[in-house]
A and B are shown apart, each in its own frame.
Chain A
Amino acid sequence: MSATTLRDLASTIRSKNAGVDHITFDIIFRERANFERVRDAKVLTRDTVAALFRIEPARITDFVVFEPANAIKFTIRRLRPSGGPGEHDVFGSQQYPPLFDVRVP
């Protein structure tokens, strides 16, 4: 049997600009139980997310467990502002896929 991943448990996994200097990530669960399972397993924390994206933890400017929405949310500072020369995702909307395969015990 394959391991359970975030892809199996979350109803929404998305990324989007939060202003011009940040990209914010939302992982939202329809089922409260799934949210609590992921929250309590500590598979999503500042450190695990930094390791997943291979960035310095300092680039994660916010990390919030948002109970009213059954959601976990974190924000990464961009290295360059959105839409400038050399940039490649002006809306920040395709940065989430590595989260799919995060394993949840």
Chain B
Amino acid sequence: MAAIKILCPTGHLGFTPLEPASFRAGCALKPDFIIADSGSCDIGPYPLGADGQASPPAWQRHDLEVMLVEARKLGVPMIIGSASDTGTDRGVDQFVALIREIAAAHRMAPFKLAAIYSEIAVSDLRSRAARGTRIEGLDGRPDADDDVLSRTSRAVAVMGAEPIQAALRAGADVVIAGRSSDCAIFAAPLMNAGSSPATAYYAGKLMECASFCCEPFMGKESILGRIEGDDVFVTAMHPGQRCTPASLASHAMYERSSPDREYVAGGYVDMTECRYEQVDPKTTRATGARFVKSPVCMVKLEGAGKVGERRLSVVGVRDPYTIANIDRAIVWAKDRLGERFGPIGGAYQVYYHLYGRNAVMEGLDPNPEMAPHELGIVVEVVCADGKRAEEICALAARNLFYARLPDVKGTAGTAALMSDEVLIGKAGYEWTLNHIIAAANPEELFRTRFHDVAPAGAKETV
């Protein structure tokens, strides 16, 4: 196979705007594909559960515009994965609409767009489970039962390379994919060109976070990957960055439990024997991945469910006596809540986040600061009913103001209320699904729709 060049400008499209200068430097080297992922679970369960987004539409549009203009100028395919942070159907539709707008604004020549949907209805999962399909827990989670599914508001299946490969083979110039493995969006064109799954997915794993695999640390700068046989050459496009064996190998282990394995639908990449070698000051060559095919196609599911409405309040404490006895004050405050609203953890939840002591690490903190100069407390309440959450949160905060401690000298108030108000937070959601499910084939859970995008208005071809 001939060498394939892929340009990647960002590891999370739209999360903060990409840097156009290094991207355009990469375009001058005539890439064969322009590829970026737009999703992450790092943003928490809210965007998936509530079907919202974590990135401002203006930044998403900015990144898509910079990429689409160059891709169409070069006449090369552009692939976007995990549209609009979560890859729900809303996210795919939103990116398709943005692509249409950008194409119209630039009066682009017509091109073919593939939209690949990956949302999966909870009712679909329930009926699969009823037919005996196991929804197998990952990372030590138990299998999903009816209770887990009933707590799930929304779910997506995570695609591997196959649905994207099919869209490219059908002639798509632009692919907007729903939730996808980061590495799959890179692997798809490479496998179509004849790469082994090992090299294709490995190249994707190395490239998916753009300049994070280079040094010194910079985000949102472009990198160019050149894949030749089983060699992956990664080059930093920013003038101040280098891709080194250390930076590339340390990226290979980023955000994963084990540095050796990357799981995708259909198997995993074994990186145990990978080798890294500097070939020029800005480029490192990586090689040696193996692919272990799984006997059954297992597709990952992500799901999030609503726990309740969320309210927040901010309280400060400066009195060293109260700080030293803050645990007693909180016990007292919680007891009062229990008397009025019933047991905590039943119909509502209350958390006191003690900034200055151990709010950041909580149970993992080996040395909580017991005598900080002052203590910032964020009171968090979650309850199905918003009004109720507000009332509980107000009392949870004010109870610190009235905390009864035996030797308190400040008898006009044991806490400083930043302002006596309850803030409306986003609703509380939890990750309910981090599971895998057997599929008949790697494309079964995904739906592709083709559009002809033309400045005069797009025509659907389905």
Contact mask for chain B residues 333-359; partner A; CB cutoff 8 A; 1 contact, 0 none:
000000000000000010101000001
How would residues 91 to 105 of chain A score, 1 for a CB under 8 Å from any chain B CB and 0 otherwise?
A: 100110110000000
Q: Are B430 and A68 in contact (CB under 8 A)?
A: no
Q: Is A30 an interface residue (CB 8 A)?
A: yes
A93 to chain B minimum Cβ distance, whole angstroms, is 9
B41, A85: Cβ atoms closer than 8 Å: no
Chain B interface size band reads 35 or more
> Across the interface, which residues of A come within 8 angstroms of B429, CB to CB?
83-84
A62 to B257, CA, bound (A): 6
Partner of B246, one of A28, A52, A85: A28
Q: In the complex, what residues of B have CB within 8 A of residue A20's CB?
A: 41, 45, 139, 302, 431, 434
With beta carbons under 8 angstroms apart, the residue of A17, A83, A85, A86 that contacts B255 is: A17
Do A82 and B366 touch across chains, with their CB atoms under 8 A apart? no
Query: A62–B307 Cα gap in the complex (Å)?
Result: 30
**Do B380 and A86 touch (CB < 8 A)?**
yes
Shortest CB distance A58–B (Å): 10
Contact partner, A86, options B44, B260, B349, B360, Cβ 8 Å: B349
Total count of chain A residues near the partner, CB < 8 A: 44
- Chain A residues near B351 (CB, 8 Å)? 85-86
Cβ-defined contact, A17 with B254, below 8 A: no
Cβ-neighbour of B44 out of A52, A62, A73, A90 (below 8 A): A90
Complex: A65 Cα to B349 Cα, angstroms: 40
Chain A neighbourhood of B246, CB < 8 A: 28, 30, 69-70
Contacts from B to A (Cβ < 8 Å): 41-46, 138-141, 245-246, 249-250, 252-260, 274-276, 302, 307-308, 310, 349, 351, 353, 359-367, 380, 382, 428-431, 434
| Given A16-B255, A77-B139; A68-B380 close (CB under 8 Å) | no
Q: Given A21-B139, A21-B434, A86-B351: A66 and B44 within 8 A (CB)?
A: no
What are 19 pairs between A and B in contact, CB < 8 Å?
A16-B255, A20-B302, A24-B255, A66-B259, A69-B259, A71-B253, A76-B364, A77-B140, A81-B430, A81-B431, A82-B431, A83-B429, A83-B430, A84-B428, A84-B429, A85-B307, A85-B349, A88-B359, A88-B360
A54 to B308, CA, bound (A): 32
What is the distance, in angstroms, from B274's C-beta to the closest C-beta of chain A?
6
Closest residue of chain A to B358 (Cβ to Cβ) is: A88
Q: Is A8 an interface residue (CB 8 A)?
A: no
Cβ–Cβ contact A26 & B250, under 8 A: yes
Q: A95 to B141, alpha carbons, bound, how many Å?
A: 22
Docked Cα-Cα span, A30 to B41, in Å, equals: 30
Q: Is the CB of B428 within 8 A of A85?
A: yes
| Listed residue (A66, A70, A90) with the most chain B CB atoms within 10 angstroms of its CB | A66
CA distance A95 to B367 in the complex (A): 12
Given contacts A83-B44, A91-B42, contact A68 B275 (CB under 8 A): yes
Q: Which residues of B contact A82 (CB under 8 A)?
A: 41-42, 44-45, 431
User: With an 8 A cutoff between CB atoms, is A22 at the interface?
Assistant: yes
CA distance A64 to B283 in the complex (A): 27
Additional 20 contacts, C-beta under 8 A, given A18-B256, A82-B431: A20-B45, A20-B431, A24-B257, A26-B253, A61-B140, A62-B258, A68-B252, A69-B250, A73-B253, A77-B140, A82-B42, A83-B43, A83-B44, A83-B429, A83-B431, A86-B349, A86-B380, A88-B359, A97-B361, A98-B366
Tell me whether A88 and B255 are in contact in the complex, defined as CB-CB below 8 angstroms, given that A20-B41, A69-B246 are known contacts. no
Contact B45 A81 (CB under 8 A): yes
Find out whether the CB atom of A90 lies under 8 angstroms from the CB atom of B43. Answer: yes
The answer to whether A79 has its CB under 8 Å from any CB of chain B is: yes
